[in-house]
Structure 1
Amino acid sequence: MDDLKAILARPIQLAEQVIKWAEEAQTCRQECLDLKAKVERLATLLRQAARADLYERPARRNLEDTGKALDKAAALLDRCRGHGLVRRVFTIIPAGSFKKTSNQLDNSLGDLSWILRVSNYSNADDLDDHIGLPPIAQNEPILFLIWEQIAVLYTGNPEARADAAASIVSLARDNDRYGRLIIEEDGVPPLLRLIKEGSSEGQETAALAIGLLGRDPECVELMVLAGVCTAFAKILKDAPMKVQGMVAWAVSELATNHPKCQDAFLQSNVIRLLVSHLAFETVQEHSKYAVASKMSIHTVLMDKKNNGASSASASHHDTLEAADQATTMLAAKPTGGAASSSATGAGTSSSGGGGGVGVAGTKQHSASLSGTSTKAREFEDAETKAYLKANAAKALWQLATGNAAVCKNITESRALLCLSVLLEKGVDDVQYNSAMALMEICLVAEQNADLRRSAFKPTSPAARAVVDQLLRVVHKADYDELLIPCIISLGCLSRTFRATETRIIGPLVNLLDEREADVSREAAVALTKFACTENYLHVDHSKAIIHHGGAKHLVQLVYFAEQAVQIAALLLVCYIAHNVPDNEELAQAEILTLLEWASKQAAMVQDPLIDSLLLEAKIRMELYQSRGAKGYY
C-alpha cells in the first residue's frame, strides 16, 4: 500500500501542472478551460485515493491509465500556451484532440470513482447500490464483477464478505479462466483472512472457494505461497466441525491437483490435525494419538497402570499396550511443523472410553490438536461428524499419494488403527475414503522398505487391524467400491507376511473366479506380488496359490478372459511355473501346454518381462515334467 501512495504522487503533481497550463492557454481557450474542470475533479479524486485504503490490483491499473491521460492533456495544453507569435501561428492542433483527451479524462474519472466506491464498502446495503460498469472493465465485464467481489472481501463487514465469497464460488465454478482471474487479481489473501476471521458461514464458503480455485498446479502453488497451509492448519485446530470438514475437502482438492503441495501441508502440521479428527470417537483412548516430546516409557507405564487398575487383567492388558505406545512415541521423529504438536483429539469419546486423560492431558508434554473441547464436539449431529471424517480421510488419501514422508507421518500418528476401524464401521464416503487412504499408504510402503518395516511389521497391533479389515472385505467379495482398493492393498503388503500367515492367499485366489474382469485382474496382480522372485517367500506363496486351486482358475483366465486379464494371469502363471515347476497340480492343469500356446500369441509376448519369463518357465517345466511325463499324460 505504501508503494501505491508513492505511485499516486506523480498523477497528483501532474494534475496540478495541467491546471496551471490550462490557465495560461492562449489558443483554444474554452477547450482548455473545459479540460481544466475535468482535471480539477480528477485531482480531487486522486487526493481522496491517497487518503483511502484502496483495493490495490485495479487501483494500479487505473492509476496507470490516469497517468497516461494526464500526460496527453499536459502535452495538448502545453501547445496552447503562449510561446511567441510565430510558434502560435505554425502550431496546428487537430480538431479531434480535445475531444479524445476529454474522453480519456472522463474514463479516468469513472474508474477513480468506482475504485473509491468499491474500496469503501461500509455495510451490506452497499452491495446492492452499484455505480455501474467502470470504463476500465468495458472490454472485459467479468473482470469488473471479480474486482467488486474481491474489494468487498477486503473491506466489507462480515455478512457482506460472506456474500462476496459466495459470489466468488459461483464464478470459480463457471470456468477455469474465471478462477485464474480471481487468483491473479489478488482474491486469495482476503479469502484466507475470511477463513481465519469470518463467521462460520463465511469460513465455510471461503474454504469452498479455495478448493474450487486450486484447479491446476500453478494456481495451487500461488495459494500455497499466499499462506493457505497455515490458514487451514488454524481452522483444523480450532473451528466449527462443519468448517473443518470443508477445509479438509479443500486440502484434498489442492493435493489432488498439485501433489508437490503435500510437503507444505506436512510442514504445517495439517497431517496430524487430520488424524486427530479421524481419531475422535473412532477409538476409545485418544492418548494413543499424542506425540510426547520428553517422556520415559516408565512414565507412560505408570500412568496407564494407575488409570487401568480396576482389574488385574485389564491392568496387564493396558500395560502391554502402553509399552507399545511409549515405544512408538519415543521412536517417532517430528517432521517439519509437527515437531512440537500432538495428534490427539481432546478429551474422551462418547462411547465411554475413559483412558484419554493422563499422558495426553499433560500440558507440558502434549497439546490438543482439535482446539475444540470434546464436550462441544460430541453434541454435533452424526451427519456432520461423518462429513468431517469422510473429508479428513480423503485429504489423507490425497496427501499420502506417492509421498513417503507424509505416509511415515501418518503411520507414526497411529492413523492406521483409525482407518481400519472406519473401513469396518464407517458409512458411505467414510469407508471408501479410508480404503483409498490405506491403499495409497500401502502403495508407498511397497516401494519403501523403511516405511514397510516400521508401519506394517507383523507384531504391530495397528498393522494387524488393517490386514484383518482388508481381508474381511476381500473374503466377503462383494463387488463394490471397497473391493478393488483392498485387493491392491493386500498385494502391496505381500512382502510383510510371514510363511506362517496362511489366511491371505485363499481369499485372493477365490477372486480369480470372479465374473467381474477388473476384480479378477487385480487379484491376479496382487497374487503376482506374492509369487514374484522379489518376494523372499515366493516358493511358499506359489505353493499356497496352487493349494487353493489357483491353477485351474488361471488356465481359464489365460484362455478366455479379456486381454488385460489374460496378461495379468499369464504373468502369474509364469512366476508359479518358474517357482515350482515340478508341482503335480500344474501338470494336471496342463500349464506347459498353456505356456506353449501363449508363446505363440503376439499380443501376449509384447511385454519383454512376460517374454523372458515365459521362455524360462517353459524350460523349467519341460525339464522337471519330462522325468515323470508318463505319470502326467
Structure 2
Amino acid sequence: MSEAVKSMLAKPIQLADQVAKAAGAALSYRTECTEIKTKAEHLASLLRQAARSDLYERPAARVTDDTAQALSKALSLVSKCRDHGGILRRLCYIIPAGSFPRVAEQLDNSIQNVSWLIRISSPDNDPDGESDLHGMPNIAQNEPILFLIWDHIAKLHTGSPEARADAASNLASMAHDNDHFARKIIEEDGVAPLLRLLKESRDEGREAAARALGNLARDKESVARLVQAGICSVLAKSLKEPPMKVQAVVAWAIGELCAKNPDYQDSFAENHVVRLLVGHVAFETIQEHSKYSIPTAPAKAMSLHSVVLAHTKSVRLGASDAQNFGPSNNANNNNNNGIGNGLPKPNAPKTHIHSVVQSAMVTNGSVGVTRGRLSEDAETKAQLKAMAAYALWCLARDNANICKSITESRALLCFATLLEKGTGDVQKYSALAVMEIARVAEHNLALRQSAFKPSSPAAKAVVEQLLRIVQKGEYDELLLPCITSLGCLARTFQASETRIVGPLVQLLDEREPPVAKEAVIALTKFACTENHLHATHCKAIIEAGGARHLVQLVYLGDQIQIEALVLLCYVALHVPDSQELEQAGVLAVLLWASKQAHMAQDVKVENLLPEAKARAELFQSRGTR
C-alpha cells in the first residue's frame, strides 16, 4: 500500500477511537451513546484491518474521506452528552431527537463502505469471485457505474488470472459502449493494471487487456493519458510475442490510438512499431519475408537482416546476384500462390539465402516462434495482417517520416500482393494504407522519388493493382481509396504511361456520386497546371470522352458541380483548340457557369473560370452557345 493511503487512514482511525472514548464517558443519552460506541469500535477495527491490506487507492480515498466526515459528526454529537458542569450549561447543548439515528445510519454506511473496500482488496476472502453480488457500497449509490468500474479494476490488481481476464473483458465492453465510462476507467487508474495484465498475463488476459486499452482511446486527451502511462513500449513489446490473436488485437489498439490522436505517431515509431507491423504484414505474403524489415539502431544482438547481409558479404555475392532475392522477383514468383504460400515449398531445394536465414533464426532462438506462427489457422493469420495494415494506415497519416520507413521496408510490395490475393479486411486496409502513403507522397517530393519512382518494382506492382481495381469499377470498399491513390500519384507517371486516365474517365459515366466525385478529383490532379504533363493528360481525358461527361456533371451533378467545373476549366485552359471540346459545347458551359453566382464566386474557380473561358473563346466558335 502507498504511503498516501496509510496517511489517509490515520485520521479516521484516530477519530474512531475518540468517538468510542467520548461515547463511553457520556452521562446523558447513555443508551444511544452505547450504540454509537459499539459502531465506532467496529469501524476502528475495520479501519485497522484496511491499513494492513493492499487497498485500491481511488475508492480508498473516497471511503476514508466519507468515513472521516461521519466520525467527525459522531464525535461532535457524543461530546455534548458529557457532564458540562451544571444544568445551565446542559441547556445550551440541546440535542434534536433525530440526531442519534442519523449519525448511527452514517456510521453503518461507513462500516459497509470499509467492509466492501477490504473485500475487493482481499481476493483470498472471496475465492469464488462473487463479492460484487453482495451489493454496492453506499458511496456509489448516486453513480452505480462507478461501483462496477472499481470492482473490475480491483480484480485487475488482486484477482486470479481468470478473474483478471474477465475483469479486463468487462472493462473493454464498458469502454466500447460509452465514452463517459471510458474516461471514468482512466480517471480511476485503470490503465496501469491493464498494462500490467498485458505484460504478465496468460493469452486470454492479454487479449482482453489489449482490447480494453484500445477501447479507452476515445479522444486526444484519453490517448495522451494512455501514452503518459507508458502504453507505447508495452504495445510494441506485445507485438513481438505470440500468439497471433493477441498480436492482432495489439495492432488494432495501436491503430486506434494513432487514429484518435496522431500527435503520438512518432512515439510509436520510436519503439520500432513500424518494423514489427511490416513484419506481420510480410509474413507468408512475399518470399524471404524476413528481409523486409526496417533497420533499427545498432544493438548488442545482430538482427536477422544484418546476419543475412553480413553472410552475403562474406561469401562475396555480387550486387547483381543479391538482387535476385529482392522484391522484383518475389512479385513474379508469387503470382501462382495464394496468401500464406510465400514460403518455399517443402520439397523444393533450399536456396543459399534460405539456409542463411534459417541458421540466423536458430542463432537468435526464433525457430520455435516461427513454427508457432506457421501452425496458426488461416483466419487468425489474415486477421493479424488486416490489423497490422490498419495500424500502418493510421500511423502513416500525414507523417512523411513514417511513410518513408514503411516504403523503405518493402511494405508496398506486400500491399500489392494483398490487394491482388487478399480478401475482406486484409484488402481494405492494404488499400487504405497505400492511399495514405500516396497522399503524403503527393506533397513530398523526396517520398515520391524514393517510393514511387517509375523504375521501382514495388511501385509498379502497386500501380498495377490500383489500376486493376479501378478498371474493374465495382463500387466496394476498395474502389474509392484506389481512385484516390492514383490521383495522388498523378505527378509520378511518365508520358509513356497511358493506361491511367482512361479508366478514371469511365467512372464519370452515370456512376454513384461518391465514385464520380473521387474520379473527378483524381483527374484534376492529372490536368492541373502543377502537373508538368498537364497537356498530355488533358488530351487523354478528351480522347477518353471526358468532355461530354464533364459537361453533364457541371449541368446536372448537384453534389460535384464545382469539382467537375474545375476539371473542365483545366482541360479548356490547356487544350483550348480541341474539336471534341467544341462539339461537346464546353464554351457554352463555361459561359453559363460564369453567370451562376454560386459557381463563379466559389474560391476554387473564381480565378480559373475567367481564364479558361477566355482561352476557349479565342479558339472555339461562339456558335456553340
TM-score by length of 1: 0.87
State the distance in 2 between where 1:371 and 1:562 align. Answer: 59
Q: Which residue of 2 aligns with 1:118?
A: 120
Q: Secondary structure at the match of 2:599?
A: coil
State the distance in 1 between where 2:306 and 2:39 align. Answer: 82
Q: How many residues align?
A: 601
> Are 2:81 and 1:96 equivalent residues in the alignment?
no
How far apart are residue 489 of structure 1 and its match?
0.3
Q: Which residue of 2 aligns with 1:573?
A: 568
How far apart are residue 320 of structure 1 and its match?
6.4
How far apart are residue 291 of structure 1 and its match?
1.2
1:62-461 alignment, distance < 5 Å:
62-85=63-86, 86-122=88-124, 124-127=127-130, 130-285=133-288, 286-291=290-295, 293=297, 303-304=311-312, 316=320, 318-319=322-323, 349=343, 355=353, 358=356, 373-461=369-457
Deviations 1:338-382 (A, max 9, x none): xxxxxxxxxx9366786466489769xx989x9972111001010
State the distance in 2 between where 1:100 and 1:408 align. Answer: 69
Deviations 1:304-342 (A, max 9, x none): 588998xx9xx84533666999xxxxxxxxxxxxxxxxx
Identity %: 56
> Are 2:584 and 1:589 equivalent residues in the alignment?
yes
State the distance in 1 between where 2:89 and 2:530 align. Answer: 94
Give the alignment partner of residue 526 of structure 1, picking from 522, 525, 528: 522
The question of whether the paired residues in 1 share the 8 Å contact of 2:385 and 2:426 is answered with yes
The question of whether the paired residues in 2 share the 8 Å contact of 1:417 and 1:465 is answered with yes
Decide whether aligned partners of structure 1 residues 444 and 389 sit closer, same or farther in structure 2, where only a CA change above 3 A counts.
same
State the distance in 2 between where 1:266 and 1:200 align. Answer: 25
How far apart are residue 70 of structure 1 and its match?
1.4
Using the TM superposition, name which of 595-604 and 153-162 deviates more.
595-604
The question of whether the paired residues in 1 share the 8 Å contact of 2:566 and 2:605 is answered with yes
State the distance in 2 between where 1:261 and 1:587 align. Answer: 53
Give the alignment partner of residue 462 of structure 1, picking from 458, 463, 472: 458
TM-score by length of 2: 0.88
State the distance in 2 between where 1:298 and 1:220 align. Answer: 35
- Any stretches of 5+ residues in structure 2 without a counterpart? 330-341
Using the TM superposition, name which of 534-543 and 416-425 deviates more.
534-543
State the distance in 2 between where 1:293 and 1:192 align. Answer: 26
How far apart are residue 422 of structure 1 and its match?
0.8
State the distance in 1 between where 2:91 and 2:294 align. Answer: 89
The question of whether the paired residues in 2 share the 8 Å contact of 1:137 and 1:144 is answered with yes
How far apart are residue 528 of structure 1 and its match?
0.6
Aligned residue identity for 1:230: S
How far apart are residue 424 of structure 1 and its match?
1.0
State the distance in 1 between where 2:84 and 2:78 align. Answer: 12
Aligned residue identity for 1:532: C
Q: Which residue of 2 aligns with 1:31?
A: 32
Deviations 1:407-459 (A, max 9, x none): 23322322211111111111111101110111111112212233223322223
Aligned residue identity for 2:429: N
How far apart are residue 404 of structure 1 and its match?
2.6
Q: Which residue of 1 aligns with 2:490?
A: 494
Q: Secondary structure at the match of 2:134?
A: coil
Using the TM superposition, name which of 460-469 and 590-599 deviates more.
590-599
The question of whether the paired residues in 1 share the 8 Å contact of 2:161 and 2:202 is answered with yes
State the distance in 2 between where 1:174 and 1:320 align. Answer: 51
- Any stretches of 5+ residues in structure 1 without a counterpart? 326-347
State the distance in 1 between where 2:541 and 2:600 align. Answer: 24
Q: Which residue of 2 aligns with 1:48?
A: 49
Q: Which residue of 1 aligns with 2:21?
A: 20
Deviations 1:547-572 (A, max 9, x none): 3333233333334x422333322211
Using the TM superposition, name which of 614-623 and 508-517 deviates more.
508-517
Q: Secondary structure at the match of 2:114?
A: helix
The question of whether the paired residues in 2 share the 8 Å contact of 1:554 and 1:569 is answered with yes
State the distance in 2 between where 1:25 and 1:586 align. Answer: 106
How far apart are residue 22 of structure 1 and its match?
2.4
Q: Which residue of 1 aligns with 2:618?
A: 623
State the distance in 2 between where 1:131 and 1:585 align. Answer: 82
Deviations 1:154-173 (A, max 9, x none): 10010111122222233334
Q: Secondary structure at the match of 2:593?
A: helix
State the superposition RMSD in angstroms.
3.2
Deviations 1:173-195 (A, max 9, x none): 44333333222222222222222
Q: Secondary structure at the match of 2:592?
A: helix
